[in-house]
């Protein structure tokens, strides 16, 4: 179940891979404390490397919060994570 959810997120990320960061999402993202943002980008799931750091990422608005989409720092694969609204 959890893996299916993750795959769904990755699929979704693929759809938006070409778009630029969403302004609303960017605002929400920047409101988070810098330390928290740092922790979130260093704790992203990669299908190959498992826990990784996301690089070259965009921030998109998501119904559950914001969606970070970018690349795995280690292998370059597309990765994504949802940051849920507090
Ligand atoms: Zn990776």
Query: How far is the centre of ligand 1, averaged over its atoms, from the C-alpha of 21 (Å)?
Result: 22
Question: Domain count of the chain?
Answer: 1
Q: In Å, how far are 59, 63, 66, 72 from 24, measured between CA atoms?
A: 9, 12, 9, 24
Query: How far is the centre of ligand 1, averaged over its atoms, from the C-alpha of 2 (Å)?
Result: 18
Q: What is the pLDDT of residues 5-33, one digit of tens each?
A: 665 555 555 555 445 568 889 889 999 99
Nearest to 64 by CA among 86, 84, 81: 84
Query: How far is the centre of ligand 1, averaged over its atoms, from the C-alpha of 70 (Å)?
Result: 11
State if pTM tops 0.85: no
Give dist(CA 67, CA 70) in Å, integer: 10
Domain that holds residue 19: 2-84
Q: What is the pLDDT of residues 45-66, one digit of tens each?
A: 999 999 999 999 999 988 888 9
Give the residue carrying structure tokens 């914001």.
66
């Amino acid at each position: 179940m959890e893996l299916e959810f993750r795959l769904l997120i990755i699929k979704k990320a693929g759809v938006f891979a070409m778009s630029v960061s969403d302004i609303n999402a960017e605002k929400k993202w920047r409101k988070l404390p810098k330390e928290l943002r740092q922790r979130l980008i260093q704790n992203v799931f990669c299908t190959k490397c498992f826990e990784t750091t996301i690089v070259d990422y965009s921030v998109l608005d998501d119904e559950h919060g914001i969606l970070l989409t970018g690349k795995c720092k280690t292998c370059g694969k597309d990765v994504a994570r949802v940051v849920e609204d507090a």
